[in-house]
Amino acid sequence: MEKLPTTLSDISYYASYYQENALVSKVLKCCRLIGRFGTTQVLTLYYMLQAGEMTMKEKLLLAGALGYFLLPIDLIPDFAMPFIGFTDDLAVTSIVLRILSRHITPAIREKARLRAAAIFED
């Protein structure tokens, strides 16, 4: 069983698991389980990575959080307890968003909000 990443380098380790097409697919598949808030958080990380106005270390941290979200087997396996299985993923997402909050522009925030609204068909 995996452990929850406790350092920034632990989170960055998961960057190799990030794949854009897999992320889009998983967000669409799991959006009801993680809710609008969780979906918006993941999309915010995604759009931050796309903006690319960060250091390599910060990009690795973003990709690591997204890679951790993509992995089905982590601290709490996503498939074992579907709703509860995403709590560790969203914890990592929240930590990285807080660390890199200075990079969340109004444009990124709005793109994530609008995409989440489209996914939830508002």
Write the pLDDT tens digit of every residue in 77-103: 656 666 677 888 899 999 999 999 999
In a domain, 56, yes or no: yes
pTM score? 0.86
Distance CA 91, CA 76 (A): 11
- Give me the pLDDT at residue 89, please: 87
Amino acid at 19: Q
Lowest mean pLDDT among 4-18, 20-34, 51-65: 4-18
Q: How far apart are the first and last CA of the chain?
A: 38
pLDDT the model gives residue 7: 59
pLDDT in tens, 2-17: 554 655 667 888 898 8
| Total number of domains in the chain | 1
Neighbours of 4 (CB within 10 A): 16
- Provide the CB-side half-sphere exposure for 80 (13 A, CA): 12
What is the DSSP secondary structure assignment for residue 45, as one 8-state letter?
A: H
Q: Give the least confident one: 46-55, 67-76, 103-112.
A: 67-76
**1 in a domain, yes or no?**
no
Establish if 95 belongs to a structural domain: yes
Number of helical (H) and strand (E) elements in the chain, helices listed first: 5, 0
Domain that holds residue 20: 8-119
In a domain, 24, yes or no: yes
Distances (CA, A) of 89 to 20, 26, 47, 55: 17, 12, 18, 23
Enter the tokens of residue 107.
Answer: 């444009």
